Structure 1
Amino acid sequence: MRRAAAISIAATLIGTLTPQSAAACEQLRMVKGGVVVSVTDGDTVVLDSDLVVRLIGTQAPKLPLGRDDFPTWPLAPEAKAALESLLLGQTVRLGYGGEEMDRYGRALAHVFVEMPQGDIWAQLHMVGSGLARVYSFPDNRKCLDALMAAEAQARAERLGIWADPYYSVRAADDLTTLADRAGQYELVEGRVLLSEKSGSRVYLNFGRYWKEDFTGVIEAPALRLFATAGLNPEDLAGALVRIRGWVDERDGPRIEITHPEQIEVLARP
């Protein structure tokens, strides 16, 4: 049943591909890639040159891939099947917009499949079909606006992962759920009660008891990126925001914010 659903999703995806997808991400260093000979999961492929490519800017549901005691995330097989239907056997180009290789030797690239109607941006369509989330890094931040817009639309339409509670946007005041999700990548939404600088850090406090409530923590390197972008996180007091990142547990649940794109401002006071 799930395999059939994945094939249906992929067929719908390919049926809606348009050349405008490629035009949405023009800030990249483009190079020839090769032919996709295998798909590892919903955000990783292997080319005929043996180059492993991690689809930068996205995080698809994860598969165990040989890891002991690692659960299959909901819709992980569907995400892999959809990416296979889109890319397997296809000639692709790679677009680099930041750090180009990770510590595992994988290329960190945007992937464009060459099709008769024009190049198609794989990341945009995986996110837009609800089979991946936007997942960014401080050294790889190109083309995120288009991906964020596609994610917002998929979430509004409850496509793919956005219909599954596993991927729900968490409430900043739901401390029990956030504590249970420690070690996971989450989207957390709430109103910033207080934004204050202490030493080299800025803390976004979402409750009155900072040792218990949810907090966003912005370290000095990230503050420099905020300053370069002309943004001051201390201005976020009273704002309704959505933060994405890895939840840890230290004086209550928290997320470290390493670059501005991790924060979406939903409403100002």
Structure 2
Amino acid sequence: MVPVLRLIVLFAVLCSASAWALGPETLQDGGLARVSRVVDGDTVVLTDGRQVRLVGIQAPKLALGRANFKDWPLAIEAKRGAEDLVLDQDVHLYFAPAPQDRHGRVLAHVTRQTDSVWLQGELLKRGLARVYTFPDNRVLAAELLAFERQARSAQVGIWALVHYMVRTPYTLAADMGTFQIVEGRVLDTAQVKNTVYVNFGKNWRSDFTVKVSARDAKLFAEAGIELLALKGKRVRVRGWIKSQNGPMIELDHPERLEILEDKKDPIAR
């Protein structure tokens, strides 16, 4: 059986994505491997044939032969960034709590063997990816978000483009079906039967809303976030925009919601 290591990324403001040490986060040691090909900015192929999805991030997507799908802006640059970091190099794999996705890809955090550079952190730091977590894969989310904020503040990579700009609740009309980061002040909250609604506009039938099931709301409470107490607070949420009484994001874990400092500016970079 592969041993379980307790790992955490040690970093401070403006630190590099290179130091790993023992700590409170539990990941499974996946051992060493060599990267033979980079598919895109968040997927690599190993010499043994395994395809590894870099868990916790989403790089700009390449079409990769998919019909009616166009490359996202900076998708080629993100792929080249990953190639620059790990192509034809030995890497260390640390399996995520859910170690495989429905496509059969390995889900892992990856570090470069020569100097322990954390691939996810470095891609975020260069502005070549966004944080993209799931309920069963949330390990190191706080560290990932810190690197993303650093790149966004510096407006490097994707953060220099309107395509990836943080949205406000009133600028989502053209964003249906896309993954977005949205920031604004909560106007009201309500629980209707088994669902919690976080409303950002006066008209819940047309304005932006965040939706959380009562079951998932327990995860937020465990993380110290009382959803019904968010009224008046500025928050940043991320997810896929769907149309349900106006634009809506459905959240199923707390790492996709950040409570922000109470500033007057509408967008905190």
- TM-score (norm. length: structure 2): 0.88
State the identity as a percent: 45
| 1:93 CA displacement | 1.2
Deviation at 1:225, TM superposition (A): 1.3
Unaligned runs of 5+ in 2: 1-14, 264-269
Name the CA distance, whole Å, in 2 between partners of 1:19 and 1:138: 26
Amino acid corresponding to residue 92 of structure 2 in structure 1 = R
CA contact (8 A) 1:25 1:146 kept: no
| 1:144 is aligned to 2:148 | no
Distance 1:77 1:26, change over 3 A: farther
Q: Is the 8 A contact 1:92 1:114 kept in 2?
A: yes
Aligned partner of 2:256: which letter? Q
SS at match of 1:81: helix
Does 1:173 find its partner at 2:167?
A: no
- Separation in structure 2 between the aligned mates of residue 209 and residue 25 of structure 1, nearest angstrom: 46
- Quote how far apart the aligned CAs of 1:232 are: 1.4
Give the counterpart of 1:160 among 151, 157, 161: 157
Matches of 1:232 and 1:57, distance apart in 2: 24
CA distance in 2, matches of 1:133, 1:199: 33
Asked if residue 106 in structure 1 is aligned to residue 105 in structure 2, the reply is: yes
Q: Secondary structure at the match of 1:151?
A: helix
Alignment-derived partner of residue 116 in structure 2? 119
Q: Which amino acid aligns with 2:211?
A: V
Residue 148 of structure 1: CA displacement? 0.5
Q: State the partner residue of 2:240.
A: 246
**Aligned match of 1:68:** 67
* 8 Å contact kept, 1:200–1:219: yes
2:210 and 2:254 mapped to 1: Cα distance? 12
User: CA separation in 2, counterparts of 1:129 and 1:200?
Assistant: 41
Could you list the runs of 5+ residues in structure 1 that have no partner in the other structure?
A: 1-15
Residues in 2 aligned to 1:244 and 1:18: alpha-carbon distance in whole angstroms: 23
Q: Tell me which residue corresponds to 1:7.
A: none
SS in 1 for 2:211: strand
**Root-mean-square deviation (Å):** 1.7
Match of 1:99, SS? strand
In 2 relative to 1, CA 240–173 (structure 1 residues): closer, same or farther, beyond 3 Å?
Answer: same
CA distance in 1, matches of 2:64, 2:73: 15
Match in the other structure for 2:3: none
**Matched residue count:** 248
Q: Tell me the equivalent position of 2:130.
A: 133
| Aligned equivalents of 2:207, 2:18: Cα separation in 1 | 46
Give the letter for the 2:127 counterpart.
G
Match of 1:92 in 2: 91
Note the C-alpha offset of 1:26.
6.5
Asked whether the equivalents of residues 17 and 122 of structure 2 are also in contact (C-alpha less than 8 Å), the reply is no
Deviation of 1:92 (Å): 1.0
Question: Is residue 200 from structure 1 mapped to residue 194 from structure 2 by the alignment?
Answer: yes
Q: Quickly say closer, same or farther: Cα 1:18–1:24, change in 2 above 3 A.
A: farther
- Considering fraction of residues, name the structure with more helix: 1
Bigger CA drift: 189-198 or 26-35?
26-35
